[in-house]
Every structure is written in C-alpha cells, then in structure tokens.
Structure 1
Amino acid sequence: MTGSRGDAPSDAAVDVLVVGGGHNGLVAAILAAQAGLRVRLLEAADHLGGATLGAAVFPGIPVRLSRYSYLVSLFPAELADRLCITLPLASRRVSSYTPVRRDGRAGGLLVERDPGPATEASFAALTGGRAEFAAWQQFYGELAALAAVVAPALTGPLRRRSAVRDAVVATAGSRIWDEIAERPLGETITGRFADDTVRGVVATDGLIGTHTSLFDAGLLANRCFLYHLIGRGTGEWLVPVGGMGGVADALLARARGLGVDLVTDVTVAQVHEAADGVVAVDTTGREWPAAHLLAAVAPAVVAGWRGEVPDRPVGAQMKINMLLDRLPRLLSGADPAEAFAGTTHLEESFDQLEAAYRLSVAGALPTALPGEVYCHSLTDPGILAGRGGATLTLFGLHTPDALFRADPVAARAAAARSALDALQLHLAEPLEECLARDVDGRPCLDVASPLDLERDLLMPGGNIFHGDLSWPWLADDEEVDSPAQAFGVAVPGSRRILLAGAGSRRGGGVSGLGGAAAVDALLA
C-alpha cells in the first residue's frame, strides 16, 4: 500500500529499505520484491516518481508534463522486461534542427533520424560542400560500432577498462576509442569537423547536465558524451508515450502490485549501521530498521546521513516547460512541425558553447543562452489531452547553481530571459503570441533552475546525475573485493548500504540502471 507517516509500522524490520521514491528507487523496490524480499520504500515528498513524475503543471489545464525530465535513451528494454512493465517509447522522425543566422540570412541544418538526401542537402547548403556530411557519416558510423560494444557493459558486473577497449578496437577501430576515452572531446570535434555549427551540434551531447569545458583534461565532457550516444545500443533518444509520467506510473503500479510498503512524507536524517543491519532515522526521530538499505539518492546525501561533510555536486542546467496554442514560425522558413520534431539547437555552435562556459565560470550569463528545445506533442499528440496546440521543452546549458544562490528568484528570471531570447532570435513572430494561457490568464511557462531541483527532488546542487558521471567500467588496477564494488554501487566503509540512484557507477539519466545494479549486488 501507499502509506503516509504512521500507516506502516517501522518497528518491524524488513529485508530491504529503499530510500528515495524516484524511478531508480521504484526499480530497486520492484526487483527486490520479485526476489522474494520484504521491501519498504521511504520517500520525502508527498508523492512518488521523483523527476519522472507527470503532473498538470499549468492551473486549469489537464496536460500532464514532467517538470524535470524529458526523454528516454538509457533505460534498457531488457530491464523493462525484467520488471514486467510495459514502457511504450516512440521514435522522433527528426534527430535535430539547428537554425542558423549567417551573412544576414537565416537558414538551418536538418539532421534526420536516419540521415538521407535531405540531410545531405542541408549540410551542403550550410557548409558549401559534401565534406562535413561525409565526416558526419564517418564519425557517427564509428560511434554506432562503439555503442554496440559498450552498451552491454551498462548491466551486470563492471568490466575492466582494457577488456572494453579491446572489444571496441576490434569492432570499431582504435581511433574512436582514443577520441572518446583518451583525449578531450573538443580536440576530437575540431579535428573531425570544420564548420562551427556542425561542431556545436556534435558537442552538445557532451554538455547536457554537465558543467565543463569541451577541452577539460579530466574528460568529463567525454563521459557525458558517451552516455548520450550508447543508450539501448543505438544512442537514440526516445519519447515516452503518455509523457515521462508514464514511466513513473508503470513502475508505481508494479511496485504496488508486488506489495511493496510505499511510505511518503518521510525524510531520512541519519543512518546507523551495525553488523546485523541498518536503522534509518527520520527527521522526527522515528526509526526504520532493515537488513540492508538501498539509497536511491545522491551519494552526497548518503554521506550526510553518516555524519560526513561531502562536496556539493554542481548542477548546471535549467528547464522551461511551455504549452502553446500553436508552434511559432521560424525566420529560416523551415516547417515548425519539422524543426521542432527533434532537438532544436539554439545558439549552440562550438564557439558559443565554450564562450558560455567561460562566462558562467565568471559568474555571468550570455545574452542568449545556449540550449535546446523539443516538442513532445509532435511525436505523442495524446499528451495534449485533446486540447490541441503543442508542448515545448527548453533545456538551457551552462547555468551552474552558484549563479542562483545569492538571489534565486531574480537569477532564475534572468536565466529564463536569456534562454527564451535564444529561441526568439530564430522566430518570425513573438513567442508570447503563441503561448497558451492558464485558467488565471498567465502565459503557460514553467521555469526550473538547479535550485528548484535541489529543493523539490533533494538533489544536491540540482545535479541531475547526482555528481560527475563515471566511466562505465573498472580501471585495470582497481581492487574489487565485494559484489557492491563489482556492480559499482559501493558506499565507502559500508557493507549494508548500497547506492541505488543516478550516482552509482552507471546510474546517470532516466535509466533504472542504478536501482537494478543495487539489487543485483545485494542478491550476489
């Protein structure tokens, strides 16, 4: 059952206590229950679903949107089958469209989901030749071969780096391994492509949710890029039919059907560990004992439970949800139903991305924030609940949480203006005239900064990955002496607490991989 405080007797220990009711926590609870274990899940909010929750964001309008998540790539089909859930996902017919203003003219770069003659012609019109399209085909062909090798390494015990490398080299060649795993992504992109716009379209996959330079020697952008390109073995970003809330709904229904004790409105403040179990203590002092605890929260939160002072992760993205009466016309003359059907890149040339990063480090924002937009309703019209119109989701880059600390309201408004200005630069009409109005007559705009994620989802810093992404493999000299380490879910110094969220070794994104790995380690 779903209970509130007091509905579930906490004095009775369970086999598994899951803390965190987002998609990873629900995945962990389901798999543990399917294994015959007694499972209780605690969630701080008054609802379950976390970032995948679907809700009527705009007053008086029944359209259900997810405030904080948007597409699915990393959730393996095999995991959905294992969970015994149906997860309908739809392909977008367009991969991306990038409006461009050059030499006083408006144009754009179209990339089809399966690049063909229209994509080739679009490259030629933008760059004046065939070289960039040929380079694109070569690069993404090699990436597809790499993805086919690396995607299986996202589940099961972690593989050694050299084993993954050897498999990639044998299948895709040594060049692509070196470019992705050995040297900064910026060097690869500038070496492969000549056009600034084309370079930027490639680069964005290394920056979504990550605050870094493309030339960072620590290869953080490379790790982000890898996860964005290997999901389900293809890297395709899919639209969840019914909205992202459909993911949460399917998981919640399955957890309830298995009899998982789902308890909301409980915030864990401390965790005490002994040889025979753990006890979570909530903010009221109430104790929740269990044999094992699966932490579907950020590692920084786990450290806080244990009395440690963790480094705060940096969240660096903002999200704007919009409901429109109609899609706006573009200066380029492109059909809006095509331009917004995939990912629409805004002010995301390579040079613009690096300039925006440098500005953000200095505590400032560009006048037009790099970002990307997509229209869920073009692929899944049912999300509109019969009202017509369209949804737009804008994801702004390089907006670190530090920019919002001093004055969160003013900073959020300034960042929203910068992001919306980046969109308006490419429109042939005011966006304001296309926006729907809620029951109170206000424009249907919902803006969320990293601090909103931190507050609503208890994600430190508003970091959507719960911290820096890790390579999905073990170093060759890394010692492994427990199943938790083998599956990438270990909490240093603990045998009874396992990471089960996005901060696990392979847990970034809406994937369920963190929750699944925690249960696999527990059962091992």
Structure 2
Amino acid sequence: MTDVTVVGSGPNGLVAAVIAARAGLSVRVLEGASTIGGGLRTAELTLPGFWHDVCSAVHPAGLASPVFRKLGLLDRVEWVVPELSYAHPLDGGRAGLAWRDLDRTVEGLGADGPAWRRLVAPLLARSRGVIDFTGSQLLRVPRDPIAALRFGLRSLEQGTALWNTRFRGDIAPALFTGVVAHAAGGTPTLASAGAGLLLAMHAHGAGWGFPVGGSQVLADALADELRARGGEIVTDVPVTSLDEVSDSRAVLLDTAPALLFTADLPSGYARALRRYRYGSGVAKVDFALDGPVPWANPEVGLAPTVHLGGSRAEIAAAENAVARGHQPGITSGGSGGGPEHPYILVTQPSIADPSRAPAGKHVLWAYTHVPAGSTLDATELVTAEVERFAPGFRDLVLASASSSATELAAYNPNYVGGDIYAGELTMAQLVKRPVVSTAPWRTPVDGVYLCSSATPPGPAVHGMNGWWAAKLALRERFGIG
C-alpha cells in the first residue's frame, strides 16, 4: 500500500507530494495528461523554437511564496525579476508603469503618485503579515492584525463605490484596475480589490518573477526532488473515481471538487459542493512574432506583463459585461451586449528571457475573459486590441495558436467551463472554498484531502494550497507534526 497518492501534478499537487516525501512517506503522483505540470506546462504551440506557457506565465506570488522558499525553488530555479513589473498603455501613447521601485512609480504617476504610495506602501511595510493573512483560509485570527486591518480597509475602499475617491487623474486608476481585473468577475468587488492589492504589493516587493525557460521549469524542479526522494510520477492515468486510489493511506486531490462526487458524501457536504460556483472562462491566444511588439509608448516594451483595456471605466464595463454572460467583441449596440474593447492580459516573456524564441524573434501570450463554456476564437480580437496600443503589431505575426474556453476545459478537466481559477473569486467563495470550514482541505471521505485552487488561499502559483493540505494530512493520517 502506498502512503500518499496525489491526483494531479499541478503546482499544488507537486508541492504536497514533495512535502510528504520529505516526511519519509512513499508517494506517487497520478497525472491524466502525458506531461506533468498542470498550469505550469510550457510547449511549442506555434512554431518550432517558440516556447509558450500553456497556462500561467508570470508568477507574482511565486517569489514571495513561503513554501517556494522553504522548498528551495527560489535558489534551484533561475528567475527573471524585471525592473518594470507591469505596464498599462492608454490611448495617445500614454502609459501607467508599475516599476519594482515604488519611488520611481510614484514619480511617474505625477499628481496621483502620493496617493499610490499611500495605497501600497503601508502594505509593503508589513508584507509578511499581509502574505500570512491572505495565504491561508480566512476563518482564523490574523497573526498580524495591523497588516490585516490595512489590507481590509484598502480592499473596502477599492472594492466598493469608494474606489474613485483616491485618484484624480486617469492613469493611476487604470494601472490599478489592470491588476484588479486578474480576478475575473464583476468590478469593483471586495474579492477583486483584495487580489489587486496583493498583486500590486508584490510588484513593488519581491517582484513579478518568472522562471527562465518557462513555467514548466518549476514543475520539473519539484518533480526532480520528488523522484530523488523515492517518489513516483505516473502520466497518462486519468483518475475518474476515488475507488481507483483506495489503496493509499492518504489521497490528496489537485483537482476540481467534482471528483468527490464519485464517493458516498454526507448530504450536507454534497449540498455545499453543489452550491460551489465556477467563474468566467478565458480565451487564450499565443503568437510567434518576427520582432518585439512596437508599442506606441516604448517603455511598455520593458514590461513582461502588460494589461490592455484602456481606462478604468472601460475595463470595469468590459468585465461587468462578461460577468453578465456577454461575449466580448460585440459592441454594446449589438445583439450580444458584450464589450467591444475587452480587458486583455498580455505577457511578452522573451523580452527578458531570450531562450523562449529564436534569435531576434519573440513570443506573446494573451488571454481575455469570456463567459463560461464560450467557443470564441479570440485571435482577431486580441490582435486588434494589441494593435490599438502597438500599431504595426499585426505585421509581425508569424503564427498563432488559440484556445477557446471550451477547448481549455477539454485540455484540463479542472478548468470547468474554461475557469482557470477552479472557482469564482468572490468574498463568499473565499470563505467557503469549497465549503465553510476551519480545515477546508479535509473532506468527509476517509483519508481524502483537497489541495487544488478550489481550496484556500485560492488561485496563483505559490503552492500554499498543497502545503496546507499536506500538513493536515500528515498530522491526521500519520501523526507527523
């Protein structure tokens, strides 16, 4: 009998497996796909020699992750940490620039610079407390109440109708809304504001880093340690029922909660799982380019991460339309009621990591939010929006590859409807992820634990979900503290 079986080889599953192996237990990881990594896969999606991240590309929470630090991933993996964390171009060649240097960012924002400092600097001053507060489930007393209070008050401001009281110009609010929109959903909300604040803090703290060679490097590093400690990884083994892993003393699921329905669940827990909601999907496009993107504002070309969508009002309108079920790319006067200019998250990793493309060439990764289950091919939509802020972009495209929300869901069953976050990000679902509990990683199925992004602290590449689930399983099933 195996001590621990982990289903799914995403970052949380691999972290959980390594934690168990470090405790001296026998561990096996079962992966349904032919390659490991889950959201950390990197592949040649367009042309030979052009390496694209299949899902996540830049990891704002990675360099600040206490688990990655404990596991040595910050030392064993070569990271790119850009000086310009992210950029937000606006019409007319203007742009908001979030430098890792907070003073430089404040200076560039002009009259709104001091307000930006007051928003972010108090969080930076207690960043460890903020990370601790947001890095687990919310049903606990914060270790740093001051950090939690500062974070909560700012979330309340930027997540409600008060969000337009801080800034006077249009660049600073657009810059912040670009990170808020990572959360995918209606805007403003407390949950999206909290996500934006955390991302903005990381941008001026440890930085928005990513590994040289692509996200796959992180999965490979974790897999190498697991194998070195005697663990086993088996690919091409989709698990469709918990009966298939009943020969383990503990099972950790780096999956959507739906797999639990293959067991006999208590009625209350089953009802709670059925109430769990998934969010908007994404439509993703990857480009192979003949050269760097010709941004109208050249400084935008220094940022591996770029947010498109225009002003705060434009982004909010676009995200709210998608949250109501409208397809992007259809004008408000059309039958679909969707945003003509949607929010688009872009990364251009090859500007800082030449290994990602042949000499002189570049890769571009982009997605936009769409209603769950959408079949939209976003290639033309994304191309037009990049062209809006980088005239001439279209002429550089050598090849592209698109994935609709439906195709992403087929590629990874955990992306229900194309939701890459494994569950809608709302305040209610940050408390009940996927159920209300002081130990939400534990399930009522004997020896079975959830460790995916459907558990606290939610999505992002930081491994914390796997860490908390593994610690709980080791203590309860094996008596290991």
Name the TM tier (shorter chain). Answer: 0.7 to 0.9
TM-score, reference length from structure 2: 0.84
Structure 1 equivalent of residue 321 of structure 2: 359
Aligned equivalents of 1:231, 1:451: Cα separation in 2: 32
Structure 1 equivalent of residue 80 of structure 2: 90
**SS in structure 1 opposite 2:248?**
strand
In structure 2, give the amino acid aligned to 1:201.
L
- After the TM superposition, which residues 157-306 of structure 1 pair with which residues of structure 2 at under 5 Å, given as runs? 161-163=140-142, 166-168=145-147, 176-180=151-155, 182=156, 185-214=159-188, 216=189, 219-229=190-200, 234=205, 236-271=207-242, 280-281=243-244, 288-303=246-261
- Equivalent of 2:132, from 146, 152, 157? 152
- Structure 1 residues 353, 239: CA separation in 2 closer, same or farther (over 3 Å shift)? same
Deviations 1:200-219 (A, max 9, x none): 221222221422221x4xx2
In structure 1, give the amino acid aligned to 2:289.
L
- The alpha carbon displacement at 1:16 in A equals 1.0
Contact in 1 for aligned 2:457/2:465 (Cα 8 Å): yes
Structure 1 equivalent of residue 90 of structure 2: 100
In structure 2, give the amino acid aligned to 1:367.
E
Does the alignment pair 1:133 with 2:92?
no
Aligned equivalents of 2:124, 2:360: Cα separation in 1: 37
Structure 1 equivalent of residue 465 of structure 2: 514
Deviations 1:177-196 (A, max 9, x none): 3232x466143431211233
In structure 1, give the amino acid aligned to 2:465.
G
Contact in 2 for aligned 1:199/1:350 (Cα 8 Å): yes
Contact in 1 for aligned 2:40/2:218 (Cα 8 Å): yes
Aligned equivalents of 2:446, 2:311: Cα separation in 1: 47
Structure 2 equivalent of residue 375 of structure 1: 348
Aligned equivalents of 1:496, 1:84: Cα separation in 2: 29
- The alpha carbon displacement at 1:418 in A equals 2.1
Structure 1 equivalent of residue 413 of structure 2: 458
- Equivalent of 2:286, from 305, 314, 321? 321
When the two chains are superposed, the root-mean-square deviation of aligned CA atoms in Å is 3.1
Structure 2 equivalent of residue 8 of structure 1: none
- Equivalent of 1:123, from 109, 129, 136? 109
- The alpha carbon displacement at 1:461 in A equals 2.2
Aligned equivalents of 1:67, 1:374: Cα separation in 2: 12
Structure 2 equivalent of residue 74 of structure 1: 61
In structure 2, give the amino acid aligned to 1:72.
H
Does the alignment pair 1:468 with 2:424?
yes
In structure 2, give the amino acid aligned to 1:263.
V
Q: Count how many residue pairs are aligned between Structure 1 and Structure 2.
A: 450
- The alpha carbon displacement at 1:339 in A equals 2.8
Aligned equivalents of 2:285, 2:113: Cα separation in 1: 32
In structure 1, give the amino acid aligned to 2:87.
Y
Does the alignment pair 1:114 with 2:101?
yes
Aligned equivalents of 2:262, 2:311: Cα separation in 1: 40
Structure 2 equivalent of residue 421 of structure 1: 384
Contact in 1 for aligned 2:279/2:425 (Cα 8 Å): no
Contact in 1 for aligned 2:129/2:144 (Cα 8 Å): no
In structure 2, give the amino acid aligned to 1:355.
A
Aligned equivalents of 1:316, 1:186: Cα separation in 2: 24
- The alpha carbon displacement at 1:69 in A equals 0.8
Higher Cα Rg: structure 1 or 2? 1
Contact in 2 for aligned 1:223/1:469 (Cα 8 Å): no
- Equivalent of 1:523, from 466, 474, 479? 474
**SS in structure 2 opposite 1:458?**
coil
Aligned equivalents of 1:32, 1:246: Cα separation in 2: 21
Structure 1 equivalent of residue 478 of structure 2: none
- The alpha carbon displacement at 1:234 in A equals 3.1
- Structure 1 residues 226, 107: CA separation in 2 closer, same or farther (over 3 Å shift)? closer
**SS in structure 2 opposite 1:515?**
helix
Aligned equivalents of 2:429, 2:412: Cα separation in 1: 28
Deviations 1:420-473 (A, max 9, x none): 2111112232x232123xxxxxx2x12223323211111212222211347799
- Structure 1 residues 159, 107: CA separation in 2 closer, same or farther (over 3 Å shift)? closer
- The alpha carbon displacement at 1:231 in A equals 5.2
Q: Which moved more, 1:35-44 or 1:157-166?
A: 157-166
- The alpha carbon displacement at 1:335 in A equals 2.2
In structure 2, give the amino acid aligned to 1:489.
W
- Equivalent of 1:143, from 119, 123, 147? 123
- The alpha carbon displacement at 1:233 in A equals 9.6
Structure 2 equivalent of residue 19 of structure 1: 7
Contact in 1 for aligned 2:123/2:150 (Cα 8 Å): no
- Equivalent of 2:442, from 474, 484, 490? 490
- The alpha carbon displacement at 1:19 in A equals 0.7
Contact in 1 for aligned 2:139/2:438 (Cα 8 Å): no
TM-score, reference length from structure 1: 0.77
- Structure 1 residues 93, 454: CA separation in 2 closer, same or farther (over 3 Å shift)? same
In structure 2, give the amino acid aligned to 1:42.
L
Unaligned runs of 5+ in 2: 329-338, 476-481
**SS in structure 2 opposite 1:97?**
strand
- Structure 1 residues 447, 188: CA separation in 2 closer, same or farther (over 3 Å shift)? farther
**SS in structure 2 opposite 1:297?**
coil
Deviations 1:46-94 (A, max 9, x none): 22111101212224x1232211111122235542354354122221121
Deviations 1:221-258 (A, max 9, x none): 13433543455993631121221111111112122222
Contact in 2 for aligned 1:148/1:234 (Cα 8 Å): no
- The alpha carbon displacement at 1:518 in A equals 1.2
Aligned equivalents of 2:210, 2:235: Cα separation in 1: 28
**SS in structure 2 opposite 1:422?**
helix
In structure 1, give the amino acid aligned to 2:191.
L
